[in-house]
Structure 1
Amino acid sequence: MPLNWMPVKWTDKPQLPKAEGRIEAIDLARGIAIGLMILSHAVSGLVGIRNVPDWGMVPIHFLTKFSSSLFIMVFGIALAVAFLSHTQTDDWPRRRLKLWLRAVEVWFWYKALTVFEMLPYYPPSEIVDALLYGRFAIWVEILGFYAIALLWVPLILPLWARAPLWSRLATIGALTALTVWLQSFTFGGNDILKALLVDHEDHYTWGQISRAPLILIGLLIGEALLRCYSEPATRRRLVLTLLGLGALMIAGFYGLAFASDDVHAAMLAVANNVGKHPPGLEFMLFSLGGALVLLALALAGGAKAAKALMPLTIVGSDALKAFIFHIVVIFLVLRFLLEGEGIYSYPQALGIGGLLIVGAAAWIWLSRWLAAHR
């Protein structure tokens, strides 16, 4: 019986065939996450959340909250697809070093883009303070999260590849419980450390422990994807499973919203990032649920959807370059050089966000073309 059709057991260890070529559906899912992020950053960076009309907050800005969970989850999926099957081979030290070098590259751009983001409105002393981890920026902090995650994730991948399924699921549950427990700790009054580990309500950054479950969920999905992607029937089961789990989580969010007797207020709270830092139940039910639905749709569409939505697929194929492009244009060019904050209407900011998605795809394509024709 082919591996793809074997039933999953609690004692199963990851059994991963090596990916044959790039899975474009993963690029599409990542591109959707980045596209939603770009729209959100264009609005919040150029208009400001307080100036967004009600119809913009719900449903438009509300739906962009799928982005962060999808982005982090796809990070785990990509690690499983590209690296997990190599952790028991002689080639692993070289691949691990590649991930650590990527961490250095991401960290460099995180600090460079911190300067670009803060340049229009902060004195040099406060920018230096952010560069030295005395405070945090806002829009570029997801890069700071990835730079640190790329240091510790390569250390746990070999352990994950040898662990039975029950222990991998238990690890996700334990880290989630640990996150909730640590929220009551003050960390000796060190808010920066707390923000880096489990999020802090006064800092718009991403905790390594609090977001680790999303990475590990991505590893599980990546394993399942490798085992069944080439078989239409089993891939369909995976898609339906992800779709069902996502729908249940969104239903859970609306169940809590109906229980509060004000559904619109609950939706507006999510749109305003209530429960994002640190992660709250309602926000995560909606954000992760929507992320699972979008991921399922991307996998269902496969290569055809990736081709039809080519700009998003290109953006997802080089997330770092797309992130750099949109931050530079929004904060260095539009906000700082052109002094454009507050002069755009909400529809105009959405239009700029859409153009930035296309522009990022064009920039990635052009840079590849130039590299190929040197």
Structure 2
Amino acid sequence: MLNWKEVPQLPKAEGRIEAIDLARGVAIGLMIVSHAVSGLVGIRNVPDWGMVPIHFLTKFSSSLFILVFGIALAVAFLSHTQSDDWPKRRLKLWVRALEVWFWYKVLTVVEMLPFSSPGDIVNTLLYGRFAIWVEILGFYAIALLWVPLILPLWARTPLWGRVATIVGLTVLSAWLQGLTFGGNDILKALLVDHEDHYAWGQLGRAPLVLSGLLIGEAILRCYFDQVLRRRLVLVLVSIGTLMVVGFYGLAIIHGDVYSAMMAVARNVGKHPPGLQFMLFSVGGALILLGLALAGGSMAAKALRPLTIVGSDALKAFIFHIVMIFLVLRFLLEGQGAYTYPQALGVGGLLIVGAALWIWLTRWVARHK
């Protein structure tokens, strides 16, 4: 039974939880397939049978990625916020923020090289505008600056306060979405998303990060107990299923289910977050997360390439952006040269390639 006055009392993880790596790997794998198609073929050129179901289902990726970001922070850092070494761990997160921000800027140049002028690239680097495919890294770089500041407070806040914070931030970001921010579109995009920019708003996505912290706490409590893990999986899958059912319920009310599915596949409601898109995306993410936890280490071993990709998300992200935009689009002039099925195949190969690259760099590091 839930104790709403309870503050986190977290056990230490008994080793690395590979199911979390698998869930993150699934998110990255879906993202790689989506980026391969949109980067090499273009969404406008995707046949309808590719939009639904394939690109419809890839919309689980972003929500799953952000949820797992919060989960990983809870598992690795939340229990240490009251310890003497917390300042050192906090500094580690801030250094990671700088590393992610550096690669965000480098990959912005890589993404824009084929078709953008030097002036446009410099303007983007100086936050005069935003890129498209690499902007999720910009979100993580900023989030890694503020999340370490709230973790100690989060660890002392009772459950009702944590849930109220998530609900309050959701309502606040929805209200702020209606404001003009004095005409400062860049600031609005950074805080709550803007329809003209493919940026990820910090306040708009904070509820997902904080929900990930709650789920991460539950994983630490339940994962190593089979009965409790099954209950957690049932809760996650049930909530996710209800959210997906809610999406279809709204689609039926509006009178056209297929059009609603096509709208999600075309990213309608992704920037800024819309109710139907988020119901489907977050609901599917919770289902995938529950299945990864249910499969545990056995599923992680069976799907080893995805698990390896999920164990080093930054390296996998760098690999696939460099391969799609620098190698295939710029050096090999492959924009528009691939059919849709070929682009899907490239996406699959890039998932395997990213796993091999991560494995190779680790092997080299071990044998230096």
Which TM-score bucket, shorter chain as reference? Answer: over 0.9
Q: Does 1:75 align with 2:69?
A: yes
* Residue 40 of structure 2, aligned match among 35, 46, 56: 46
DSSP 3-state at the match of 2:308 = helix
1:155 deviates by: 0.1
Find the counterpart in structure 1 of residue 97 from structure 2: 103
The one-letter amino acid of 2:248's match is Y
1:177 deviates by: 0.1
* Residue 231 of structure 1, aligned match among 222, 225, 231: 225
Deviation string, structure 1 residues 328-364 (Cα, Å, up to 9, x no partner): 0000000000110101000000000000000000000
DSSP 3-state at the match of 2:301 = helix
Q: 4+ runs of 1 displaced by more than 4 Å?
A: none
Deviation string, structure 1 residues 63-119 (Cα, Å, up to 9, x no partner): 000000000000000000000000000010000000000000000000000000001
1:15 deviates by: 1.0
Q: Does 1:181 align with 2:175?
A: yes
1:189 deviates by: 0.4
Find the counterpart in structure 2 of residue 144 from structure 1: 138
The one-letter amino acid of 1:355's match is L
1:20 deviates by: 1.6
Deviation string, structure 1 residues 190-234 (Cα, Å, up to 9, x no partner): 000000000000000100000000000000000000011111000
DSSP 3-state at the match of 1:246 = helix
1:8 deviates by: 2.5
- Give me the whole-angstrom Cα distance separating, in 1, the residues matched to 2:69 and 2:15: 18
* Residue 117 of structure 2, aligned match among 100, 119, 123: 123
The one-letter amino acid of 1:156's match is I
- Give me the whole-angstrom Cα distance separating, in 1, the residues matched to 2:40 and 2:254: 33
* Residue 256 of structure 1, aligned match among 246, 250, 256: 250
Structure 2 gaps, min length 5 = none
- Give me the whole-angstrom Cα distance separating, in 2, the residues matched to 1:258 and 1:43: 29
Find the counterpart in structure 2 of residue 351 from structure 1: 345
Find the counterpart in structure 2 of residue 301 from structure 1: 295
DSSP 3-state at the match of 1:143 = helix
* Residue 30 of structure 1, aligned match among 24, 34, 39: 24
- Give me the whole-angstrom Cα distance separating, in 2, the residues matched to 1:303 and 1:69: 23
Find the counterpart in structure 2 of residue 165 from structure 1: 159
How many residue pairs get matched? Answer: 368
- Give me the whole-angstrom Cα distance separating, in 2, the residues matched to 1:126 and 1:242: 43
- Give me the whole-angstrom Cα distance separating, in 2, the residues matched to 1:134 and 1:357: 32
CA RMSD across the alignment: 0.4
Find the counterpart in structure 1 of residue 59 from structure 2: 65
- Give me the whole-angstrom Cα distance separating, in 2, the residues matched to 1:185 and 1:372: 53
- Give me the whole-angstrom Cα distance separating, in 1, the residues matched to 2:143 and 2:18: 24
- Give me the whole-angstrom Cα distance separating, in 2, the residues matched to 1:113 and 1:335: 14
The one-letter amino acid of 1:341's match is Q
Find the counterpart in structure 1 of residue 365 from structure 2: 371
Task: Give aligned-pair identity as a percent.
Answer: 80
- Give me the whole-angstrom Cα distance separating, in 2, the residues matched to 1:14 and 1:342: 52
Q: Does 1:265 align with 2:238?
A: no
TM-score, scaled relative to structure 1: 0.98
Q: Does 1:192 align with 2:212?
A: no
1:260 deviates by: 1.1
- Give me the whole-angstrom Cα distance separating, in 2, the residues matched to 1:212 and 1:125: 32
Find the counterpart in structure 2 of residue 3 from structure 1: none
Find the counterpart in structure 2 of residue 325 from structure 1: 319
- Give me the whole-angstrom Cα distance separating, in 2, the residues matched to 1:285 and 1:73: 14
The one-letter amino acid of 1:173's match is V
The one-letter amino acid of 1:336's match is F
DSSP 3-state at the match of 1:83 = helix
Find the counterpart in structure 2 of residue 4 from structure 1: none
Of 285-294 and 178-187, more deviation after overlay is shown by 178-187
Find the counterpart in structure 1 of residue 278 from structure 2: 284
Of 357-366 and 182-191, more deviation after overlay is shown by 182-191
Find the counterpart in structure 1 of residue 310 from structure 2: 316
- Give me the whole-angstrom Cα distance separating, in 1, the residues matched to 2:14 and 2:228: 17
Q: Does 1:112 align with 2:114?
A: no
DSSP 3-state at the match of 1:203 = coil
The one-letter amino acid of 1:217's match is S
Deviation string, structure 1 residues 113-163 (Cα, Å, up to 9, x no partner): 000000110100000000000000000000000000000000000000000
- Give me the whole-angstrom Cα distance separating, in 1, the residues matched to 2:144 and 2:53: 34
1:310 deviates by: 0.1
- Give me the whole-angstrom Cα distance separating, in 1, the residues matched to 2:222 and 2:26: 23
Structure 1 gaps, min length 5 = 1-6
Q: Does 1:216 align with 2:185?
A: no
- Give me the whole-angstrom Cα distance separating, in 2, the residues matched to 1:227 and 1:297: 18
Q: Does 1:18 align with 2:12?
A: yes
